[in-house]
Amino acid sequence: MNSRIKLSIFCLPPLRTLNSELSTLTTFYPGPSKVYPQVATYLQDAMNEGILSQNHRSAAFMEMLEACISVFKQKQNIPDNYEVYFTSSATECWEIISQSLVKKHSHHIYNGAFGEKWFEYAARLGKTVSATKFNFQEIIENNFSSDADVWCFTQNETSNATQIENSFFSKLQTDSLIAVDVTSSLGGIALDWQSGDIWLASVQKCLGLPAGMGIMICSPKAIKRAEEIGDHNFYNSLLFIRDNFRKYQTHYTPNILSIYLLMRVMQQVPDIHTIDAHIKARAKNFYTFIGQETNLDLLITTREVRSETVIAIQGSVDEISVLKQKAKENNIILGNGYGAWKDTTFRIANFPAIEDWEFDKLKTLLRQ
């Protein structure tokens, strides 16, 4: 064998070429999705300020963590007595809930793939689980009953572009804890925090950040439950996490960069009520546009359950394939369909980091 192998054939494109190509893309992928362009500056600031070289027990890190949590709660209008923790992902939050907040039994109410995944994952963790699956085209009804001590909901189901309205949660009458996955809506629409006890998400969607960190928000009722159970068996037991966060430290070496970037983005963006009004108005406008100015069909036919942050459009396999190819030729990335709708739908992220002119560009393509 000739030892003089030409390694150049395995080389990646020059970085400046790759960056140039990416800079012309408009992405509507529903997660990981578009990152706020200001993040490029914040990355350099993090290097210049030296925070990335600080250990997570240092005064500099603790001050930064405190500032991040403070501005995050302020901009998202989170009650003062609710506590915020950072994890590795929203999926890890599912695990923490089962380990530290479920006494015996969790009940999962869902209409799509991610809610079902949560149910299936919880079933592997040793507690009793049960589920109510409702039709994704129908408005959720509060007609289920369960003796579960935690009820689990997916507020915004990314797989099929549906959502549950705030008013549903505010009408729930139960002594059970209410856990809500808001991965595709936190930072995009205003949430009724008082109507739930555990809220979980990740940063790579409406918060406009690179993937790599989860967020868990707990009510005083949830904290009381954790203390009653007294779970200290795992590295991510909630009480262990809380003991550290009360000192503005973390239970393991954290994603310092993500915490710093979240702080800077929260300092940049308006309050959630301003963002909420813009996102909902743009969703309404785009839904109307699809119905009146294109020959496309919406996956969700029931207006009241359509998500305001993820929009799903359906067609034949050939129609969707051609449209996605045309989008690619115009440097537009559309989100793939998910699960059963993989080949017959595409999804559009309506996240705050995506700008109005980018939606105008998409409309021009879809009119064709």
Tell me, yes or no, whether 215 and 297 share the same domain. Answer: no
Q: Which domain holds residue 339?
A: 15-33+271-367
| Domain boundary residue, one of 268, 295, 330 | 268
| Domain boundary residue, one of 222, 238, 268 | 268
Tell me, yes or no, whether 237 and 249 share the same domain. Answer: yes
Q: What is the pLDDT along the chain (368 residues), one digit of tens a residue?
A: 444 333 333 333 443 444 444 457 899 999 899 999 999 999 999 999 999 998 889 999 999 999 999 999 999 999 999 999 999 999 999 999 999 999 999 999 999 999 999 999 999 998 999 999 999 999 998 887 789 999 999 999 999 999 999 999 999 988 999 999 999 999 999 999 999 999 999 999 999 999 999 999 999 999 999 999 999 999 999 999 999 999 999 999 999 999 999 999 999 999 999 999 999 999 999 999 999 999 899 999 999 999 999 999 999 999 999 999 999 999 999 999 998 889 999 999 999 999 999 999 999 999 98
Domain-embedded: residue 1 = no
Tell me, yes or no, whether 127 and 224 share the same domain. Answer: yes
Q: Number of folded domains in the chain?
A: 2
| Domain boundary residue, one of 243, 268, 293 | 268
Domain-embedded: residue 5 = no
Tell me, yes or no, whether 196 and 278 share the same domain. Answer: no
Convert the chain into a string of H (helix), E (strand) and C (coil). CCCCCCHHHHCCCCHHHHHHHHHCCEECCCCCCCCCCCHHHHHHHHHHHCHHHCCCCCHHHHHHHHHHHHHHHHHHCCCCCCEEEEECCHHHHHHHHHHHCCCCEEEEEECCHHHHHHHHHHHCCCCEEEEEECCCCCCCCCCCCCCCCEEEEECEECCCCEECCHHHHHCCCCCCEEEEECCCCECCECCCHHHCCEEEEECCCCCCCCCCCEEEEECHHHHHHHHHHCCCCCCCCHHHHHHHHCCCCCCCCCCHHHHHHHHHHHHHCCCHHHHHHHHHHHHHHHHHHHHHHCCCEECCCCHHHECCCEEEEECCHHHHHHHHHHHHHCCEECEECCHHHCCCEEEEECCCCCCHHHHHHHHHHHHC
> Can you give the length of the chain in residues?
368
Residue with tokens 């963790």: 125
Tell me, yes or no, whether 334 and 219 share the same domain. Answer: no
Tell me the chain's radius of gyration from C-alpha atoms.
Answer: 22
Domain-embedded: residue 356 = yes
Tell me, yes or no, whether 185 and 288 share the same domain. Answer: no
Domain-embedded: residue 3 = no
Tell me, yes or no, whether 259 and 280 share the same domain. Answer: no
Domain-embedded: residue 4 = no
Tell me, yes or no, whether 144 and 100 share the same domain. Answer: yes
User: Tens digits of per-residue pLDDT, 46-68?
Assistant: 999 999 998 889 999 999 999 99
Domain-embedded: residue 60 = yes
CATH number of 212's domain: 3.40.640.10
Tell me, yes or no, whether 353 and 255 share the same domain. Answer: no
CATH number of 24's domain: 3.90.1150.10
Tell me, yes or no, whether 103 and 199 share the same domain. Answer: yes
Domain-embedded: residue 9 = no
Tell me, yes or no, whether 264 and 277 share the same domain. Answer: no
Domain-embedded: residue 65 = yes
Tell me, yes or no, whether 359 and 293 share the same domain. Answer: yes
